[in-house]
């Protein structure tokens, strides 16, 4: 089947979802009121609370949520065939992500722009705030671990990407000095920076960087050496003021995101490639079964709990009219779904046209360890449809993913610092308060340990470790989504409306997550992966805790509703 048809089918489904389901949500579930005075108007201060045009806000919202994660999940999940991955991305986006992202904006806006962490304590229970912090702690640990591995794999398999990826750093530092110290315009230097970056791609190909010598010297594998170098870089990067590197790189990343999306879809349209992957793949024996693993392998791109932080952190404070949460929240979710769709196309049609799909996805270890490589190769082929040599195109795609992953790690380590400090404070541990270097070191060492779990090397004897790490990441991301959906569902129920739109994805996610966690427990035990086993067990406890909190909160509201309705009937 031509890949173009998949685009048409998926986008048409998104259109239907927006036209009908989001309308149902807007009218029946969230009962959006055009006359409701949003926090942007009520608390209007021109700083945090600013009534903002819906198109401006959609741009802010989408660039805040889109990153590398919607690429990695689908790139692994097509192992089970393109059909399950596509169906989950489409249905997840329409029936879970849209509900979640839109609902997070609405509930936050109805609570004076409070964020989802605060709302969990207010709407669900006081304990839920602690649960939120713990889930985020595990999520960040896994985010940093998987992206460290992702970067290492890409550097190892695309040594031509090392120079372009490195050159971004001085470019961003120069832009930061230019804009923030000298107070000059940033857009032209960032466009020049992007062009320099692309100009460095052929240079990188001519002078590929290998660390084999260093690895041999220190007696480690090449991938392990890369992982350690990447985490060392992350420690340093996360100790720099954000305006030195992180913020100026935002501009380059934002432009890269748009360029990458544009060239992938243009490459599909021009090349008219067919999908080489089977609709349902006959997977190798002992592979994880798609049910339930598909639903946690693709988190971002189908539903991502972290979107609730963006939705409730900024968007809800700037939404001008409550009815626009449909356009921004639901629309933003569809945008993320489109990014996941691009990854599916690259890893099925693009990869298939460039080489042997079956060999690339021969088993789950190859599928997960090589997922990003497959995306890179597939995107390289799409670029070749546009007249750009495939090898250059592949390096371009590798650079996009590496710069995104690097930014995610930089931010993730900073965030983890705060989380560690807050958790230590809750636990009454004073020794960590204000100890930035120590906190940063802990925030780096914990995911580094996970990334170096034996078998983390895709060629390692224990296979699947990256895939397992990724699925653990997926479980924690789905738990964050579950917490947000609990808040949304309880809020809807408290208004005597039908909460099924939030309840069904909540139950579905909790079921899939806990099931996958249980399967993982057995798998890790059998393999003797004690660190992953401990991690999995801890996340399982959080999942059980969330299920109890959600059930208790729903039940409380159900009883309260009954009482209210009975009183109303009596009064009549």
Partner 1 sequence: MNVAARMPQGVAGDRLGARHQLILVREQDSQHSGSGCCGRLGESHTLLGGAADFSHSRARMEAVGEVYRALAERAPGLDLVVADPRNVVWLYPAVWRAARAHGMGLGATLRSMARAGSPIAVVLDGDTLFAGRLPATEQVVESVLGRLSQRFDA
Q: How far apart are the first and last CA of the chain?
A: 62
Nearest to 422 by CA among 146, 132, 52: 132
Which CB sits closer to partner 1, 190 or 321? 190
Which CB sits closer to partner 1, 184 or 289? 184
CB 220 to partner 1: min, Å = 27
198 touches 168 (CB < 8 A)? no
CB 222 to partner 1: min, Å = 26
Between CA 190 and CA 395 the distance in angstroms is: 20
Between CA 150 and CA 156 the distance in angstroms is: 10
Which CB sits closer to partner 1, 188 or 548? 188
Which CB sits closer to partner 1, 211 or 245? 245
CB 496 to partner 1: min, Å = 29
DSSP result, 60-76: HHHHHH-SSHHHHHHHH
399 touches 255 (CB < 8 A)? no
Handedness of CA 100, 514, 530, 368 (dihedral sign): negative
CB 156 to partner 1: min, Å = 22
The residues near 566 (Cβ < 8 Å, ≥ 6 apart) are none
DSSP class of residue 288 equals: P
CB 531 to partner 1: min, Å = 21
257 touches 63 (CB < 8 A)? yes
Q: Which residues pair with 52 in a beta bridge?
A: 319
Between CA 93 and CA 160 the distance in angstroms is: 35
Cα-based torsion angle of the residue sequence 83, 86, 89, 92 in order, rounded to the nearest 10 degrees: -50
Which CB sits closer to partner 1, 32 or 413? 413
Between CA 30 and CA 565 the distance in angstroms is: 20
CB 475 to partner 1: min, Å = 14
CB 274 to partner 1: min, Å = 30
CB 114 to partner 1: min, Å = 8
Which CB sits closer to partner 1, 406 or 460? 406
The size of the chain, in residues, is 572
Which CB sits closer to partner 1, 211 or 334? 334
CB 76 to partner 1: min, Å = 16
Q: Which residues pair with 16 in a beta bridge?
A: none
Which CB sits closer to partner 1, 175 or 523? 175
Residue 563's CB is within 10 A of a number of other CB atoms, namely: 10
CB 18 to partner 1: min, Å = 18
Which CB sits closer to partner 1, 283 or 341? 341
DSSP result, 305-326: TTHHHHIIIIIHHHBSSTTHHI
Between CA 244 and CA 179 the distance in angstroms is: 10
């Amino acid at each position: 089947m031509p890949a173009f048809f998949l685009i048409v089918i998926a986008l048409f489904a998104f259109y239907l979802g927006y036209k009908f389901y989001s309308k149902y949500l807007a009218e029946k579930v969230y009962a959006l009121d055009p006359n409701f005075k949003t926090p942007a108007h009520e608390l209007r201060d021109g700083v945090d609370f600013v009534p903002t045009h819906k198109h401006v806000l959609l741009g802010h919202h989408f660039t805040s949520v889109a990153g590398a994660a919607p690429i990695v999940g689908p790139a692994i999940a097509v192992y089970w065939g393109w059909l399950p991955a596509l169906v989950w991305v489409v249905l997840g986006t329409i029936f879970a992500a849209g509900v979640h992202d839109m609902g997070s904006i609405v509930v936050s806006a109805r609570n004076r722009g409070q964020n989802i962490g605060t709302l969990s304590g207010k709407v669900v229970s006081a304990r839920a705030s602690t649960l939120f912090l713990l889930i985020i702690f595990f999520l960040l640990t896994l985010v940093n671990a998987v992206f460290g591995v992702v970067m290492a794999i890409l550097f190892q398999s695309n040594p031509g990407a090392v120079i372009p990826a490195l050159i971004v750093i001085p470019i961003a530092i120069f832009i930061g000095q230019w804009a923030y110290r000298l107070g000059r315009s940033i857009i032209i230097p960032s466009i020049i920076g992007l062009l320099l970056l692309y100009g460095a791609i052929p240079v990188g190909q001519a002078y590929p960087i290998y660390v084999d010598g260093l690895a041999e010297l220190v007696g480690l594998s090449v991938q392990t050496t890369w992982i350690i170098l990447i985490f060392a870089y992350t420690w340093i990067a996360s100790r720099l003021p954000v305006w030195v590197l992180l913020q100026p790189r935002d501009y380059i990343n934002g432009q890269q995101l748009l360029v990458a999306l544009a060239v992938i879809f243009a490459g599909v349209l021009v090349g008219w490639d067919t999908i080489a992957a089977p609709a349902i793949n006959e997977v190798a024996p002992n592979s994880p079964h798609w049910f339930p693993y598909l639903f946690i392998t693709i988190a971002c791109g189908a539903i991502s709990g972290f979107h609730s932080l963006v939705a409730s952190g900024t968007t809800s404070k700037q939404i001008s009219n409550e009815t626009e949460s449909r356009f921004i929240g639901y629309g933003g979710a569809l945008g993320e779904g489109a990014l996941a769709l691009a990854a599916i196309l690259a890893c099925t049609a693009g990869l298939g046209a460039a080489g042997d799909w079956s060999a690339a996805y021969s088993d789950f270890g190859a599928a997960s360890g090589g997922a990003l490589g497959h995306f890179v190769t597939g995107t390289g082929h799409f670029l070749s449809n546009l007249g750009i040599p495939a090898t250059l195109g592949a390096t371009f795609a590798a650079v996009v993913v590496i710069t995104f992953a690097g930014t995610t790690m930089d931010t993730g380590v900073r965030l983890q610092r705060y989380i560690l400090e807050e958790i230590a404070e809750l636990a009454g541990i004073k020794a960590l308060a204000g100890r930035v270097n120590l906190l940063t070191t802990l925030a780096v060492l914990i995911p580094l340990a996970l990334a170096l779990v034996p078998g983390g090397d895709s060629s390692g004897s224990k296979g699947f470790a990256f895939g397992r790490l990724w699925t653990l990441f997926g479980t924690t991301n789905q738990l964050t989504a579950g917490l947000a959906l609990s808040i949304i569902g309880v809020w809807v129920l408290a208004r005597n409306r039908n909460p099924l739109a939030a309840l069904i994805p909540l139950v579905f996610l909790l079921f899939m997550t806990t099931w996958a966690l249980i399967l993982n427990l057995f798998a890790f035990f059998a393999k003797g992966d004690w660190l992953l086993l401990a991690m999995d067990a801890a996340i399982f406890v959080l999942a059980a805790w969330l299920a109890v909190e959600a059930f208790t909160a729903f039940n409380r509201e159900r009883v309260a509703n009954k009482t209210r309705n009975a009183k109303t009937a009596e009064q009549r």
